[in-house]
Amino acid sequence: DAKTTQPTSMDCAEGRAANLPCNHSTISGNEYVYWYRQIHSQGPQYIIHGLKNNETNEMASLIITEDRKSSTLILPHATLRDTAVYYCIVRPGSGSARQLTFGSGTQLTVLP
Amino acid sequence: GAVVSQHPSWVICKSGTSVKIECRSLDFQATTMFWYRQFPKQSLMLMATSNEGSKATYEQGVEKDKFLINHASLTLSTLTVTSAHPEDSSFYICSARDRAGYTFGSGTRLTVV
pLDDT single digits (tens) B16-41: 999 999 999 998 999 899 999 999 98
Please give the distance of CA A30 from its chain centroid, rounded to a whole number. 18
Stretch 71-100 of chain A: residues touching chain B, C-beta under 8 Å:
87, 94, 97, 99-100
* Contact with chain A for residue B105, Cβ under 8 A: yes
In this structure, are strands A31-38 and A45-50 parallel, antiparallel, or unpaired?
Answer: antiparallel
Stretch 25-64 of chain B: residues touching chain A, C-beta under 8 Å:
32, 34, 36, 43-46, 49
Proportion of chain A above pLDDT 70, given as a percent: 94
Residue type for position A107: Q
Residues in A touching B71 (Cβ below 8 Å) = none
pLDDT < 50: residue spans in chain A: none
Rounded to an integer, what distance in angstroms lies between the CA atom of residue A35 and that of residue A62? 9
Residues in A touching B43 (Cβ below 8 Å) = 87, 102-105
Proportion of chain B above pLDDT 70, given as a percent: 100
Dihedral sign, Cα of residue B83, residue B86, residue B87, residue B91: positive
pLDDT single digits (tens) B28-77: 999 899 999 999 989 999 999 998 888 999 999 999 999 999 998 999 99
pLDDT single digits (tens) A41-64: 899 999 999 999 999 999 999 999
Rounded to an integer, what distance in angstroms lies between the CA atom of residue B50 and that of residue B78? 9
